Amino acid sequence: MKKEDLKIVYMGTPDFAVESLRRLVEGGYNVVGVITMPDKPIGRHQDTLQASPVKKYAVEHGLKVLQPANLKDNAFIDELRELKADLQIVVAFRMLPEAVWNMPRLGTFNLHASLLPQYRGAAPINWAIINGDKETGVTTFFLKHEIDTGDIIQQVRIPIADSDNAGIIHDKLMAIGGDLVIETIDNIIAGTIKCMPQNEIAAEENLRPAPKIFKDTCQIDWQKGTKRVYDFIRGLSPYPAAWTTLQNGDKSHVLKIFETEKIEERQDLPVGTVIIEDKRLLVSLSDGMLALKVVQIAGKKRMKVEEFLNGFHANGDIKVI
């Protein structure tokens, strides 16, 4: 079968999913439909609807778009069936019911931003960095009942540098993922794929999950030591961003932290003590210090710490909690 004859339905929502769709369109693959989330209400009064990045791209390129609120809705299932897809591709979408993922004759495969079976879940990029991993990657796998557990088709690995944050790794995996989606499709067409059950790998590894991140997840625990706090902050940068409470005398502010620098020098000070010297903002930890580099105080813009300190006035002892 030629790629032009293979009918593909693509499912995705955020920016991460646009790149793979773009590769399909520009590569001349036959995308017969795009499934994405319903438009999202935004604004103070929630009266403006915002299309997902995937929808915006699909509309710009004249692709058929379906936006079901309920993936089990019979009307949606019937409309999806009418597309007669040979293959479905899922990138950063929702959990699919069996009636959807089991529909195409060649199955449904997912692109996941981790080296499965590690980091099953909604936030694999963030958790790999938070945990201080030295490498990550992307995986294509066929969908089955349990989320992120299907047979692995292919994987690509990349290193995580000590200076990388979640935004940098997101963009790298987005590009590499686009390549892998195309390679996986071509191998499916050629009949050369050799899948590996995840349980054959999982039995040999201590598996770490990648649960969804909430605001409380992002609060910094300064008791964890320099390296772990450093990794935590870059694992949540630039979004959703790690945060702490900056206590300045009798005043307190929520402070988001986007970038830091590890300093091995130890101070005989309580953990969380803030030191301001030479236009630097330092936080004392149990085994060293962190120099805060890029921050954002509630109600203000994100800024370099030098700019932040220009408008900062100490009201007594300063600490983070």
Domains of the chain: 7-202 (3.40.50.170), 216-320 (3.10.25.10)
Cα–Cα distance measured from residue 184 to residue 106, given in angstroms and rounded to the nearest whole number = 12
The per-residue pLDDT for 186 is 97
Q: Which residue in this structure is represented by tokens 């813009």?
A: 301
Do 141 and 147 meet the contact criterion of CB atoms below 8 Å apart?
A: no
For the segment 7-32, what is each residue's pLDDT rounded down to a tens digit? 999 999 999 999 999 999 999 999 99
SS3 call for 173: helix
What crossing angle do the helices spanning 15-26 and 166-190 adopt, rounded to 10°? 40
Exposed, middle or buried by CB within 10 Å (0-12, 13-18, 19+), for 180?
A: buried
Q: Encoding tokens for residue 253?
A: 């502010």
Give the global pTM. Answer: 0.94
* H helix intervals, the chain: 15-26, 53-60, 74-82, 98-101, 124-130, 166-190, 198-202, 226-235, 305-310
The per-residue pLDDT for 204 is 64
User: What is the DSSP track for 129-149?
Assistant: HHTT-SEEEEEEEE--SSTT-
The per-residue pLDDT for 278 is 86
Averaged pLDDT of the chain: 94
- Binding-site positions for (6S)-5,6,7,8-tetrahydrofolate: 114-117
For the segment 156-213, what is each residue's pLDDT rounded down to a tens digit? 999 999 999 999 999 999 999 999 999 999 999 999 999 999 988 766 678 999 999 9
Phi, psi (rounded to 5 degrees) for 261: -130, 135
The per-residue pLDDT for 7 is 98
| Per-residue pLDDT band at 316 (split at 50, 70, 90) | confident
SS3 call for 108: strand
Cα–Cα distance measured from residue 129 to residue 153, given in angstroms and rounded to the nearest whole number = 24
- Binding-site positions: 114-117
Lowest average pLDDT, out of 16-25, 46-55, 88-97, goes to 46-55
Question: How large is the greatest C-alpha to C-alpha distance in the chain, in angstroms?
Answer: 73
Do 109 and 184 meet the contact criterion of CB atoms below 8 Å apart?
A: yes
